[in-house]
């Protein structure tokens, strides 16, 4: 498999440091283009103008036929995407004029998880940057996202709590059953989940959605891996190197308190850990009003200037 990408190099000075950019979940191009914005293009341009080499790449399967896309991604999980990131890292570190000892990985959202997984597998990764990285177990992240969604829809507290308890039961079940066995055991597992719904204040559409979680995990290796994966070991393993973890306070997809809290809990003893939460920024690090996904494309700003400046200052300091 070949990945396509763009390497940007400073015009007049040897690069101080270099890094690979890793996109979040879903099929995305090298600019992480979404909702009318190109955050990785903005980040790469800003950093390169300050003496940092940046490699950004298209996700596997991007721009291919539907048949080739299925072949490349149908059975792929976050662990496979971490291998892609390592391939990009090896390419970057091998470029003439770059110091392999000063090459790192930056990931956004799921890419933050991937950055830690790649660094844990490759000691040569010299630093990790997590932009709204998912640093808690996937089931926990999904639970928080669903809770916020139900609350935003105006469901009463009792219904929200009942649904969250059932979701936790569902995720615990998935963690105890290998994905290869899920399809055969679906009738049994669905019956147990349905029994747990008896007497609960769960509307019928939500009951059906809860059962569909099991179907999705059985059908998709990525969904199963996401819901059952705990990144804690990878974060600890990568934490001997400098780590920068950033989040916006209005991030509704990757909760800042939970995920930055995980970084502090797992790496709190590391003298090279830097954690920062930005008031009023969303998952894309835009200054926003609500943080809702629907707001992303209505905002002119692509990435907060404060975040860009902090990124450049932190990475440049590593190159001194």
Domain finish residue from 209, 227, 245: 227
Helix (H, G, I), strand (E, B) or coil at 104: strand
Same domain, 24 and 173: no
Same domain, 22 and 126: yes
Same domain, 111 and 247: yes
pLDDT above 90 (res 195): no
CA distance 87 to 122: 11
Residues in the chain: 320
Mean pLDDT of 118-124: 96
Tokens of 206: 């939500």
pLDDT value for 31? 97
The 3 state secondary structure assigned to 252-301 is CCCCHHHHHHHHHHHHCCCCCEEEEEECCECCCCCECCCCCHHHHHHCCC
Same domain, 210 and 168: yes
Q: Which residues pair with 84 in a beta bridge?
A: none
pLDDT value for 303? 98
CA distance 59 to 27: 6
> 249 with 278: CB under 8 angstroms?
yes
- Tens of pLDDT along 152-176? 888 889 889 888 988 898 999 999 9
Same domain, 146 and 241: no
Tokens of 62: 């991007």
pLDDT value for 152? 86
Same domain, 187 and 198: yes
Crossing angle of helices 138-152 and 157-176, in 10° steps, is 160
Contacts of 215 (CB under 8 A, 6+ apart): 186
pLDDT above 80 (res 13): no
CATH number at 16 reads 3.40.50.1820
pLDDT value for 209? 86
Domain finish residue from 165, 192, 227: 227
pLDDT above 90 (res 248): yes
Reported confidence tier of residue 14, pLDDT bands at 50, 70, 90 = confident
pLDDT value for 211? 87
Q: Which of 58-62, 145-149, 284-288 has the lowest mean pLDDT?
A: 145-149
Total structural domains in the chain?
2
CA distance 230 to 86: 20
pLDDT value for 249? 98
Q: Residue 121, Cβ neighbours under 10 Å: how many?
A: 16
pLDDT > 70 in the chain, percent: 100
Task: Quote the mean pLDDT of the chain.
Answer: 93
pLDDT above 80 (res 136): yes
- Tens of pLDDT along 97-117? 899 899 999 999 999 999 999
- Tell me the residue range of the domain where 117 lies: 5-136+231-318
> 222 with 78: CB under 8 angstroms?
yes
Reported confidence tier of residue 206, pLDDT bands at 50, 70, 90 = confident
pLDDT above 80 (res 12): no
> 252 with 148: CB under 8 angstroms?
yes
pLDDT above 80 (res 258): yes
Domain finish residue from 174, 204, 227: 227
> 224 with 179: CB under 8 angstroms?
yes
Structure-token match 């110091």, residue found: 99
- Tens of pLDDT along 69-92? 999 999 999 999 999 999 999 999
Same domain, 221 and 239: no
Same domain, 13 and 94: yes
Same domain, 249 and 176: no
Same domain, 98 and 157: no
Same domain, 127 and 246: yes
Same domain, 64 and 131: yes
- Tens of pLDDT along 34-57? 999 999 999 999 999 999 999 999
pLDDT above 90 (res 287): yes
Reported confidence tier of residue 236, pLDDT bands at 50, 70, 90 = very high
pLDDT value for 70? 92
Q: In terms of DSSP bridges, do strands 273-278 and 243-248 run parallel, antiparallel, or are they unpaired? A: parallel
């Amino acid at each position: 498999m070949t990945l396509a990408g763009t390497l940007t190099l400073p015009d007049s000075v040897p690069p101080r440091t270099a890094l690979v950019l890793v996109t979040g979940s879903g099929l995305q191009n090298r600019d992480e283009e979404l909702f009318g914005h190109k955050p990785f293009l903005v980040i790469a341009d800003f950093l390169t103008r300050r003496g940092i080499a940046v490699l950004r790449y298209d996700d596997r399967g991007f721009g291919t036929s539907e048949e080739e896309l299925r072949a490349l991604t149908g059975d792929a999980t976050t662990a496979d995407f971490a291998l892609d990131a390592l391939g990009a890292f090896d390419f970057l570190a091998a470029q003439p004029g770059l110091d392999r000892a000063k090459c790192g990985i930056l990931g956004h959202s799921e890419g933050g998880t991937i950055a830690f997984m790649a660094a844990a597998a490759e000691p040569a990764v010299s630093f990790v940057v997590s932009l709204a990285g998912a640093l808690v177990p996937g089931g926990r992240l999904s639970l928080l996202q669903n809770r916020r969604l139900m609350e935003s829809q105006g469901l009463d507290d009792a219904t929200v709590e009942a649904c969250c308890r059932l979701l936790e039961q569902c995720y615990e079940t998935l963690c105890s059953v290998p994905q290869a066995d899920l399809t055969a055991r679906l009738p049994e597992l669905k019956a147990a989940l349905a029994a747990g719904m008896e007497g609960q204040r769960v509307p019928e559409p939500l009951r059906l959605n809860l059962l569909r979680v099991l179907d999705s995990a059985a059908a998709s290796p990525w969904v199963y891996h996401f819901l059952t994966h705990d990144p804690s070991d990878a974060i600890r393993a990568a934490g001997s190197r400098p780590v920068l973890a950033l989040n916006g306070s209005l991030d509704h997809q990757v909760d800042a308190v939970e995920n930055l809290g995980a970084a502090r809990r797992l790496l709190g003893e590391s003298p090279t850990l830097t954690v920062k939460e930005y008031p009023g920024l969303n998952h894309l690090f835009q200054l926003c009003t609500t943080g809702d996904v629907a707001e992303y494309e209505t905002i002119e700003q692509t990435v907060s200037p404060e975040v860009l400046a902090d990124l450049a200052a932190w990475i440049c300091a590593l190159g001194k």
